[in-house]
Amino acid sequence: MFKSYNNRIKKWRRFVKLVENTIEKNIRSLTDEELVEIIDKDFDEYTDKAIDYVKDELKIRNISIDEFKKRNISIDANPSKSKNKIWFYEFKGERKGPVSREEIIKLLDSQVLNRKSLVWKKDFENWKAIQETQFEDNISMPPPLNGRLVKNHFVWLLAFAPLLGISIQGVVSEVIGIKAESLWFTTLALNLILSWLDVTKLKRAGHNMENLLGYFWLVPVYLYKRSKLLKHKFSYLIVWIISFIISLA
């Protein structure tokens, strides 16, 4: 009886958590103006929890409601400035805006946005990369080095890392006199170190690695995404898989 009751409680908690996550995600997609309006007008359809999420999101965006209102009053006093706020941009998976053309240029100059960042305005059918829009001339940074120019030393070492790790385990076990199997973390550490070194190398070549950083510890996924990014064949991914299979034999 108690077990059944506990299971129902767990299911209810999971449901509540799912609802809260959905609310939080929807709130993150709102513009600054929409967030301030929710707090200012105290809409009845928003729960206390949702209001707390809105307040937290405003803190994350470093927005003071009073300052925001003052800023909007000054904008409303100058309709031409308000009309210029027609641009939206994508940042870390979230929609931001509307902002003016000048603000987009400032974001480019500060390297918050880059040539591949997505922007949108009313007459666009879909989101476009900045390099495909009128902002192309405002891009001050050169494009990243293409796949042929990027050095692949670390990634090829990574491709053979499962076998190299086994070899290192054997040498270390002989030196310190313990079983090689107990040194399994050596191979894992080698994979992670080489992945990180490769990520650093690609960053220096000018590539935006934000989308790959979360995968550098999942080596096959990282190698797949790296191949797609640089338009390489999947050679080093295939070699890693073969090396991994051999290391298990």
> Tens of pLDDT along 185-204?
899 999 999 999 999 899 88
Query: How far apart, in whole angstroms, are the C-alpha atoms of residue 39 and residue 211?
Result: 33
Q: Residue holding tokens 């390297």?
A: 111
- Tell whether the torsion through CA atoms of 234, 237, 242 and 245 is positive or negative: negative
pLDDT of 172 higher than 70:
yes
At residue 19 the predicted structure's pLDDT band, cuts being 50, 70 and 90, is very low
Q: Is residue 218 part of a domain?
A: yes
Number of folded domains that form the chain: 2
Question: For position 81, what pLDDT does the model report?
Answer: 52
Q: Residue holding tokens 């009845």?
A: 44
Question: For position 99, what pLDDT does the model report?
Answer: 92
- For the residues 127-136, what does the mean pLDDT come to? 87
Residue 95, judged by CB atoms within 10 A of its CB (0-12, 13-18, 19+), counts as middle
Query: How far apart, in whole angstroms, are the C-alpha atoms of residue 121 and residue 83?
Result: 12
Q: Which two three-digit tokens encode residue 133?
A: 């829009």
Amino acid 50 reads: A
At residue 160 the predicted structure's pLDDT band, cuts being 50, 70 and 90, is very high
Looking at 138, 173, 191, the residue that finishes a domain is 138
Residues 115 and 26 both lie in one domain: yes
Q: Between helices 219-230 and 235-248, what is the axis angle to 10°?
A: 160
Amino acid 154 reads: F
Residues 133 and 29 both lie in one domain: yes
Residues 161 and 222 both lie in one domain: yes
Residues 105 and 157 both lie in one domain: no
Residues 197 and 230 both lie in one domain: yes
Q: Is residue 216 part of a domain?
A: yes
Residues 94 and 160 both lie in one domain: no
Question: For position 184, what pLDDT does the model report?
Answer: 86
Looking at 112, 138, 164, the residue that finishes a domain is 138
Residues 77 and 159 both lie in one domain: no
Looking at 138, 172, 206, the residue that finishes a domain is 138
pLDDT of 29 higher than 70:
no
At residue 1 the predicted structure's pLDDT band, cuts being 50, 70 and 90, is very low
Q: Is residue 148 part of a domain?
A: no
Lowest-pLDDT range of 44-48, 100-104, 173-177, 227-231: 44-48
Residues 169 and 238 both lie in one domain: yes
Q: Is residue 4 part of a domain?
A: no
pLDDT tens-digit series, residues 92-119: 788 998 999 889 988 888 778 888 889 9
Residues 160 and 103 both lie in one domain: no
Task: From 239, 192, 200, 246, select the one nearest 219 (Cα to Cα).
Answer: 192
Task: From 230, 247, 24, 55, select the one nearest 147 (Cα to Cα).
Answer: 230
Q: What is the mean pLDDT of the chain?
A: 78
Domain that holds residue 174: 153-248
What are the φ and ψ backbone dihedral angles of 119, each rounded to 5 degrees?
-130, 160
Residues 172 and 239 both lie in one domain: yes
Residues 133 and 167 both lie in one domain: no
Residues 23 and 132 both lie in one domain: yes
User: What is the pairing mode between strands 118-120 and 94-99?
Assistant: unpaired
Q: Is residue 2 part of a domain?
A: no
